Structure 1
Amino acid sequence: MHQIEPINNNGSIQLRFTYAGKRYSFNPIPGGQYNNKRDISTAKSIATQIQNDILAKNFDPSLNRYRITPKSLPQQSAPKSLLELWDCWVSSLNLSTATREHHYKTIRHQIAKANPDLVDTTWLTQAKLAASTHNQRLGYMKACFKWAMTKGIVSSNPYESIKTHKVKQKVVKPFTAREIKLIIQGFEELAPHYSAFVKFLLATGVRTSEAIGLRWSHLDFDRGLINIQESLSRDWEGNGYRRVRKETKTGSERQLKMNDGLRELLLSLPRKERDSLVFTTVKGKVIDDGNFRERYWVKVLTSVGVDYRKPYTTRHTMISHAIEQGTPVTGVAYLAGHRDTRMVLETYGHMINKPELPDIF
């Protein structure tokens, strides 16, 4: 196996390795810093222990055996600013790179820009944020200070008394049957190479990354099934443009039955090797969803006179049309790749068993 070495992870320490086909990534020293010689020495010792346990077939997949609890760390000075506290808390969470590079990085940028004192909350309460964004960041700060209280860093949580903002429920506006026809016609005329890709998104409602990552080996024409079992998602450990193959968002697999239209569509495509991608760019490369949206999606919708909605609306479209056609909620949840019906009921509940007005006249 490859030598396990500490990696510089934005200043903190990360150990990354693969065992039994599973990738592991964690910070063995909460609060540890890559530029601290003592922390690096400790991390190297832990890496050696992991390698020895793997060779001895005594590896602990929970990683608990290899973590150092904050209490066993040398005494460090308490954070004096909110930014320092935030970094300490985030470091203790052992987040994946993808998770850290989203909400956590955005919030850190806002904190760094305002540079508030440890208990100053005005950077959040006086910021012009959407209600949902305010509530989300408030939730993170409450959790951060709850952790700080357990560590004795602060004596109270200044965010506990701050109220959430009322969020207006977003109205899902799927494409109508007329708009679907216009979009398909537009792609066939203006961007024919991506016509099959768009039709597939509309017909299946799969996540964009799942369609991008679909391989020919995932198609079973004998049984008429499409196996949705992995995706090609952005690699946030790189520059965000390279993609890595992952399991589906919920970690579950599902099989979608081909109807006649889907079968005909997929059979019309040039067949390639089993591990080759079904949908690619004109040059045979991996489709970049951002580039596709800017160069083709916007152009087509504008040309055919359809109000702009994100490509993800193809997913809403399949789900809403399935509900309108009487598909049970459990079936819709399965088609969408949800673990249960909660998300379907929360987002599309107003469409299910929609009552009719009584006959008055």
Structure 2
Amino acid sequence: MATIRERNGVLHLDYMLHSERIRRSTGLKDTKLNRKKLEEEIIPKLMEKIYMNDLRKPESKKFSYYHEKFLKLHESDKSFHTRIGIYNKVNKFFGNMFVTEIRTLAVKEYLASLNLRNSSKKDYLGCIRGTLDIALDDETIDRNVAFGIRFKREEKAPIHVFTIDEVSSLLEKSDGLFRNYIGIALNIGMRSGEILGLMHSDILEDRITVKRSISKGRVTTPKTLGSVRDIPILEAVKPFIESQRKMSKSLYLFEHDGAFIKDAGFFKRRWHQLVEDCNMEYRKLYNTRHTFITAMLNSGKFKIMEIAAIVGHSSPEMIMKNYAGFIKDNHLKIDTSIDLFKKELSQIRHIG
């Protein structure tokens, strides 16, 4: 016998066909009249067809069919072009599977096979879950098997910043455009895409306006709303900016063959070689940003709120979350001779 169920105001039928449970939408709104129609007309005809073996199982669609729709829905996302490689890997694995045949275990086993940290696996799970959500909306499946999957919390990978000696070595053993990029990255803390997105017109006498980013050949706005910002130009970064200004022949500060550099991957080979030449432990080029932030914190001359504003965080929480280990003993280095209420007390005596 078929059971009538309601979902989002629409009536569905739940019945068995060839020992398999089938759940299909009727497309009818949940009203008394439609329920009566199902009970008196549609269900009897359905049962007759099942009895006469004259009912075919609803046709399923493959993962690739809905994956294509997933891509179209997300192609305008800011991070789409940086994640398309992940999306394609997911489709390569699940593409030929019918969505009705994909089980939670298959998704978990696939994620477990990835030699990645759990934080990196989230984009893979997001693609699987998003694709199956579309199949759910199309009523090809009645539940998303990836919905309940969660990752165990893992310890955050430690941040390995460059020491003062390592910074000196990196600058001594590099030259030209590459040296200027490293010098700016170390002394201003901008994200790699933000540095590549700098135009000459963004650089004023006392500040830099950050309003665009370049990655994978695409020019976009920076990562977050708080990333659009003005930042002060420290004296240490001025020589690298001036040197690069003289070298650049385009609107962009960093250019190659008259056009902007499409991605920080442009420096990848040279960075690997430089780290090897400096005989130091390998760290990503992005660690120049971490180094800048920790150097600002350790200097004791900047408030955490100021540092957050300079590096493009909307609040100091991210600084505290990621770099607390570098400032845990700074409270012991304060000026203990300070009298917080000296001025206020003198004013009180004067008033009295």
Once the two structures are TM-superposed, the CA of residue 145 in structure 1 deviates from its matched residue by: 3.6
Structure 1 segment 138-149 matched on structure 2, within 5 A: 138-149=125-136
> Does residue 1:202 correspond to 2:202, yes or no?
no
Q: Which has the larger radius of gyration?
A: 2
Once the two structures are TM-superposed, the CA of residue 208 in structure 1 deviates from its matched residue by: 1.5
**Closer/same/farther in 2, CA of residues 141 and 194 from structure 1, 3 Å limit:** closer
Once the two structures are TM-superposed, the CA of residue 347 in structure 1 deviates from its matched residue by: 2.0
* Number of the residue aligned with 1:32: none
Match of 2:195 among 196, 211, 220: 211
C-alpha separation between the residues in 1 aligned to 2:317 and 2:191?
18
* Number of the residue aligned with 2:86: 106
* Number of the residue aligned with 2:168: 181
* Number of the residue aligned with 1:309: 283
Once the two structures are TM-superposed, the CA of residue 314 in structure 1 deviates from its matched residue by: 0.7
* Number of the residue aligned with 1:67: none
- Does structure 1 retain, via aligned residues, the 8 Å contact 2:194–2:212? yes
Runs of 4+ in 1 over 6 A off after TM superposition: 272-275
- Does structure 1 retain, via aligned residues, the 8 Å contact 2:78–2:220? no
Structure 1 segment 83-102 matched on structure 2, within 5 A: 83-91=64-72, 93-96=73-76, 99-102=79-82
Match of 2:213 among 223, 228, 231: 231
Once the two structures are TM-superposed, the CA of residue 306 in structure 1 deviates from its matched residue by: 1.8
Q: Write 1 or 2 for the structure with the bigger share of helix.
A: 2
Q: TM-score, normalised by structure 1?
A: 0.63
Once the two structures are TM-superposed, the CA of residue 215 in structure 1 deviates from its matched residue by: 1.9
**Closer/same/farther in 2, CA of residues 133 and 88 from structure 1, 3 Å limit:** same
- Does structure 1 retain, via aligned residues, the 8 Å contact 2:202–2:208? yes
Once the two structures are TM-superposed, the CA of residue 279 in structure 1 deviates from its matched residue by: 3.0
C-alpha separation between the residues in 1 aligned to 2:83 and 2:213?
21
C-alpha separation between the residues in 2 aligned to 1:339 and 1:175?
25
Match of 1:259 among 234, 238, 244: 234
Once the two structures are TM-superposed, the CA of residue 302 in structure 1 deviates from its matched residue by: 0.7
Once the two structures are TM-superposed, the CA of residue 269 in structure 1 deviates from its matched residue by: 4.8
Q: TM-score, normalised by structure 2?
A: 0.65
> Does residue 1:117 correspond to 2:98, yes or no?
yes
- Does structure 1 retain, via aligned residues, the 8 Å contact 2:215–2:264? no
| DSSP-derived class of the 2:318 partner | helix
Code of the residue aligned with 2:274 in structure 1: it is V
**Closer/same/farther in 2, CA of residues 104 and 309 from structure 1, 3 Å limit:** same
| DSSP-derived class of the 2:214 partner | strand
Q: Deviations over 1:131-151 (max 9, x none)?
A: 334444334433444454344
**Closer/same/farther in 2, CA of residues 107 and 184 from structure 1, 3 Å limit:** same
Q: Deviations over 1:241-262 (max 9, x none)?
A: xx34332222442222122222
> Does residue 1:156 correspond to 2:150, yes or no?
no
Match of 2:156 among 169, 174, 187: 169
- Does structure 2 retain, via aligned residues, the 8 Å contact 1:216–1:272? no
Code of the residue aligned with 2:310 in structure 1: it is L
> Does residue 1:335 correspond to 2:310, yes or no?
yes
* Number of the residue aligned with 1:293: 268
* Number of the residue aligned with 2:13: none
Once the two structures are TM-superposed, the CA of residue 167 in structure 1 deviates from its matched residue by: 3.0
Once the two structures are TM-superposed, the CA of residue 354 in structure 1 deviates from its matched residue by: 4.1
C-alpha separation between the residues in 1 aligned to 2:243 and 2:84?
44
Code of the residue aligned with 1:211 in structure 2: it is I
* Number of the residue aligned with 2:204: 220
Q: Deviations over 1:319-340 (max 9, x none)?
A: 1211222332221211111222
| DSSP-derived class of the 1:126 partner | helix
| DSSP-derived class of the 1:311 partner | coil
- Does structure 1 retain, via aligned residues, the 8 Å contact 2:177–2:254? no
Identical positions, percent: 20
Match of 1:82 among 42, 63, 77: 63
**Closer/same/farther in 2, CA of residues 126 and 307 from structure 1, 3 Å limit:** same
- Does structure 2 retain, via aligned residues, the 8 Å contact 1:215–1:274? no
Q: Which runs of 5+ in 2 are unaligned?
A: 1-57, 333-352
Code of the residue aligned with 2:254 in structure 1: it is F
| Larger deviation, residues 200-209 vs 142-151 | 142-151
